[in-house]
Structure 1
Amino acid sequence: MRRSMGILAAATAASALMAGSALAEEITVATVNNGDMIIMQKLAPEWEKATGNKVNWVVLEENVLRERVTTDIATKGGQFDVMTIGGYETPIWGKAGWLTPLNDLGADYDYDDLIAPVRAGLTVDGKLYAVPFYAESSFTLYRKDLFDAAGLKMPEQPTYDQITEFAGKLTDKSKEQYGLCLRGKPGWGENMAFVGTLINTFGGRWFDMDWKPQLNSDAWKKAIGWYVDTMKKDGPPGISSNGFNENQTLFASGHCAMWIDATSAAGRVYDPKQSKVADKVAFAKAPVAVTPNGSAWGWAWSLAIPTSTKKADTAKSFVKWATSKGYVQRVGETEGWVAAPPGTRKSTYASADYQKAAPFAATVLAAIESADPTKQTKDPVPYTGIQFVAIPEFQGIGTQVGQAIAAAVTGEQSVDDALNTAQASTEKTMEEAGYIK
């Protein structure tokens, strides 16, 4: 304990020195209301005490956060000194000159400890424009007790056909037990994060090599047809209101037999302080259908500093502290090692304490390291990104498509009508942006 406190003290002291003369400043940090960020808020007074600075927190639901920070950075509003953004925004905004490079946090930050593909996804032309707070791929969480009772066995690599079979056998609506929980809340980073991987593994793609949208192709119809049918038969009620946090609550409270979502959820559903089923959880890889390509996503919630801030030194001090090895150690000590922020540092996965507390560690690390944004589809595509398309227009496109698919799930539209609507709106956007004529 004494040694790890020393590590954190050294990191905090270094952060304080980085703040230079900018003592007693207040920085505004915009972040998402996920569990790991709530822990960051809980521990932030330690940084405040060491540096003399203060944090003004703006904590938002995922879709709202994305909208607010996008508006602020595009207008150079300067409302936030630190933003929580992801692997989609970072390279686009960094290239546009909207983010402050973060290559100068000091040798003690240990950049080489950052997991290579996560770091690469936040880097443009050799400059790191955000530092990862936690990173994730996706996989299948399931209730081993329910599987055992039903005489079912989850393979290490399930198929979507098997998931369908399992969900049908494990749904018992009289007990509010649902065979499969999936994201349904519309948004490019909500329902479309899952749907993007579903499309990939069913053999679909967003665009062909000429940037023509493919949203009403047979592969999309089969994938979305599966999604809509399965959610109607074996999903929980109100799916169009369920995003990551809502599904995590459903699973942790015992209402889901299976849940396909972010690997970062494992630390919370395995934590007996946060989960009623902590001792009943097991995991497998994300399911596959036609191709394994792009069946599991790659994402990093990261901390970035907009160039509009007037408190860059203090902001750097904070992001260094919050993404340091010492911070990971501190979370392990105060919250339990199962709650340590995952997916960012090799040293976390080398830790005997973490390995002991997190039986999913090796699987998660392998999934993150193998998520390839350049080999994400069966057929060739002109873009990178697994569950997103790395072009500025995708934020609007993904949200519009997500709304159309949510309408299909709720029965407001048929699958064909929803996809035709999505195809038309995406074609219009791509024509206006000059990708197609």
Structure 2
Amino acid sequence: MGTTTKRLAAAAIAPAVAGLVLSGCAGAGGGGEAGTDGEGGAITVLMVGNPQMQDIQQITEDTFTADTGIEVNYTVLPENELRDKVTQDVATGAGQYDVVSVGAYEVPIWAKNGWLKPLDEYVEGDDDYDVDDLLDPMIASLSSDDQLYALPFYGESSFLMYRKDVLEDEGLEMPERPTWDEVADIAAEVDGAQPGMKGICLRGLPGWGEMFAPLTTVVNTFGGTWFTEDWEAQVDGPEFTEAVQFYVDLVREHGEAGASQAGFTECLNAMSQSKVAMWYDATSAAGSLEDPKVSNVAGKIGYAFAPVKETDSSGWLWTWSWAMPETTTNSDAAAEFMKWATSKEYEQTVGEELGWSRLPAGKRESTYEIPEYQEVSEAFGPITLQAIEEADPTDPGVQPRPTVGVQFVGIPEFADLGTKVSQEISAAIAGRGTVEEALAQGQELAEEVAAEYQ
């Protein structure tokens, strides 16, 4: 490896495997070739513990395994733990897993490092799979040098979810495209509208992909950025500071209990159990909120575009996807699983067996043409698709950026940088320290990262 590649690889794995010394190109050996696997067998899958992944666990044995003879052994972890585990396994070439959950942030970086198998040979020309049906933003985010390195399980942007009945009782109306100032005012009005109900849920759990997923979109629309086009760090800049102070103040004054330790899962539970009146987060949450089997608020939720301030839109762009580490020795079986889990057939199975609102949507055009899904997703399906199409990873703010990414900076070092800064901001939410102190430390860290690119 050249010096640059070594630096990028080390930055990518440092948070998960501190002190590990790599020799040679990580993940370069041990992989089985496509077409060498036999029928049946078993594969290991590492995935994030989101509702869509819980669903696939439930139906795999009676569908995929029954049809193919391939046994699937799942390891499921919370988001932050998943990120550490998958980075450790893939970046070091440990080879423990045949298929892993990865996102739009990791795929381009890991593909360039040679850590993932390209998937074009498995999907091109497969009419049943119909790769052309996948949404263009999903394909673009999971490709490198015109090769596809992951298959999207579900795609998402972000939007504001709110209790229609609560706002109506308080004589309030949510704009289709609210500003953050309007959201803050409404949060104050509905705080305590029902016993034990807070105004809004916002992630405060540390993690570049936890707290900073929503928070970076707030930074963007307030006019801030992590780095300028010329790699000048801006973490303690006035716009970045204003955005973070706004976010911290809002969640401290009108946010969920235990906000400093609340991530996606905690906010989903709070919203579905009527503990909060609003929630700004992933569009993929709507399927769970609208499922009466798991939600107490099905049919009571309204949906608005991601709140803005200085930009026309601010929704993020993300996909949880399936990737095959270069080290897998079960490539054919792994590919068979990945294709099934991202297929039209799989969506049909979920709809028929678990409920149409629970489709892992946001990745295929055809999903939004299914009559049953159109019916159950009338309130959130069209706005989800529009938000995905409006998201612009190349220009998400008010100034040019040095890399792509709406809610992240597309460099290996961002995982460590974003997580460390989020830890300080989470402390500020908990009343331990101030936003200014948190961002002053963040600026020092960001300047160290920027120096590598200037």
> TM-score normalized by structure 2?
0.90
Of the three residues 403, 408, 430, the one matched with 1:383 is: 403
**Residue of structure 2 in register with 1:25 after alignment:** 41
Question: Cα deviation per residue 1:310-363 (whole Å; 9 max; x = unaligned)?
Answer: 111110011011111100011010111111111011110011111011111111
Question: For the Cα contact (< 8 Å) 2:37–2:331, is it kept in 1?
Answer: no
The separation in 1 between residues aligned to 2:202 and 2:71, in whole angstroms, is 38
SS at match of 1:278: coil
1:84-123 equivalences in 2 (<5 Å): 84-105=101-122, 106-123=126-143
Range moving further from structure 2, 167-176 or 200-209: 167-176
Letter in 1 for 2:197: Q
**Residue of structure 2 in register with 1:283 after alignment:** 303
- Consecutive unaligned residues in structure 2, runs of 5 or more: 1-33
Question: For the Cα contact (< 8 Å) 1:383–1:389, is it kept in 2?
Answer: yes
Distance 1:366 1:174, change over 3 A: closer
Q: Note the C-alpha offset of 1:413.
A: 1.0
**Residue of structure 2 in register with 1:8 after alignment:** none
Q: Note the C-alpha offset of 1:238.
A: 0.9
Of the three residues 209, 222, 233, the one matched with 1:189 is: 209
The separation in 1 between residues aligned to 2:140 and 2:325, in whole angstroms, is 19
Q: Note the C-alpha offset of 1:249.
A: 0.3
The separation in 1 between residues aligned to 2:64 and 2:401, in whole angstroms, is 45
SS at match of 2:425: helix
The separation in 2 between residues aligned to 1:286 and 1:70, in whole angstroms, is 30
SS at match of 2:121: coil
Question: Cα deviation per residue 1:59-94 (whole Å; 9 max; x = unaligned)?
Answer: 000000000111111110001100000000011111
**Residue of structure 2 in register with 1:327 after alignment:** 346
Q: Note the C-alpha offset of 1:209.
A: 2.0
Question: Cα deviation per residue 1:32-57 (whole Å; 9 max; x = unaligned)?
Answer: 11000111111111211221121111
Within the alignment, does 1:152 sit opposite 2:182 as a pair?
no
Equivalent residue pairs, number: 416
1:202-217 equivalences in 2 (<5 Å): 202-217=222-237
Letter in 2 for 1:102: L
Within the alignment, does 1:368 sit opposite 2:381 as a pair?
no
**Residue of structure 2 in register with 1:75 after alignment:** 92
Structure 1 segments of 4 or more deviating over 3 A?
A: 18-21
The separation in 2 between residues aligned to 1:346 and 1:21, in whole angstroms, is 32
Question: For the Cα contact (< 8 Å) 2:157–2:388, is it kept in 1?
Answer: yes
Of the three residues 42, 52, 58, the one matched with 2:58 is: 42
Of the three residues 403, 410, 413, the one matched with 1:393 is: 413
**Residue of structure 2 in register with 1:435 after alignment:** 453
Within the alignment, does 1:409 sit opposite 2:435 as a pair?
no
**Residue of structure 1 in register with 2:8 after alignment:** none
Letter in 2 for 1:316: A
Q: Note the C-alpha offset of 1:402.
A: 1.0
Question: Cα deviation per residue 1:375-431 (whole Å; 9 max; x = unaligned)?
Answer: 111012211100001111111111111111111111111111111011112212333
The alignment's C-alpha RMSD in Å is 1.3
The separation in 1 between residues aligned to 2:36 and 2:390, in whole angstroms, is 40
Letter in 2 for 1:31: M
> TM-score normalized by structure 1?
0.93
Within the alignment, does 1:63 sit opposite 2:80 as a pair?
yes
Letter in 1 for 2:43: I
The separation in 2 between residues aligned to 1:173 and 1:351, in whole angstroms, is 37
Q: Note the C-alpha offset of 1:269.
A: 0.4
Within the alignment, does 1:264 sit opposite 2:265 as a pair?
no
The separation in 2 between residues aligned to 1:191 and 1:176, in whole angstroms, is 23
Range moving further from structure 2, 370-379 or 299-308: 370-379
The separation in 2 between residues aligned to 1:320 and 1:19, in whole angstroms, is 15
The separation in 1 between residues aligned to 2:231 and 2:449, in whole angstroms, is 11
**Residue of structure 2 in register with 1:164 after alignment:** 184
Within the alignment, does 1:341 sit opposite 2:357 as a pair?
no
Distance 1:184 1:67, change over 3 A: same
Letter in 1 for 2:108: P
Of the three residues 216, 219, 230, the one matched with 1:199 is: 219
Structure with the higher fraction of residues in helix conformation? 1
The separation in 2 between residues aligned to 1:79 and 1:430, in whole angstroms, is 34
Question: For the Cα contact (< 8 Å) 1:139–1:296, is it kept in 2?
Answer: yes
**Residue of structure 2 in register with 1:312 after alignment:** 331
Question: For the Cα contact (< 8 Å) 1:19–1:314, is it kept in 2?
Answer: no
Letter in 1 for 2:375: K
Q: Note the C-alpha offset of 1:173.
A: 8.4
Of all paired residues, the percent bearing the same amino acid is 46
**Residue of structure 1 in register with 2:294 after alignment:** 274
Question: For the Cα contact (< 8 Å) 1:19–1:317, is it kept in 2?
Answer: no
SS at match of 1:38: helix
Within the alignment, does 1:228 sit opposite 2:248 as a pair?
yes
Distance 1:220 1:44, change over 3 A: same
SS at match of 2:223: coil
Q: Note the C-alpha offset of 1:21.
A: 4.8
Letter in 2 for 1:282: G
Letter in 1 for 2:253: K
Within the alignment, does 1:298 sit opposite 2:298 as a pair?
no
The separation in 1 between residues aligned to 2:193 and 2:78, in whole angstroms, is 29
Q: Note the C-alpha offset of 1:104.
A: 2.1
Question: For the Cα contact (< 8 Å) 2:98–2:330, is it kept in 1?
Answer: yes
Q: Note the C-alpha offset of 1:228.
A: 1.1
**Residue of structure 1 in register with 2:21 after alignment:** none
Letter in 2 for 1:69: V
Q: Note the C-alpha offset of 1:108.
A: 2.2
Question: Cα deviation per residue 1:252-275 (whole Å; 9 max; x = unaligned)?
Answer: 000111100000000110111111
Question: Cα deviation per residue 1:222-280 (whole Å; 9 max; x = unaligned)?
Answer: 11111111111101121111100110000000011110000000011011111101121
Letter in 2 for 1:226: F
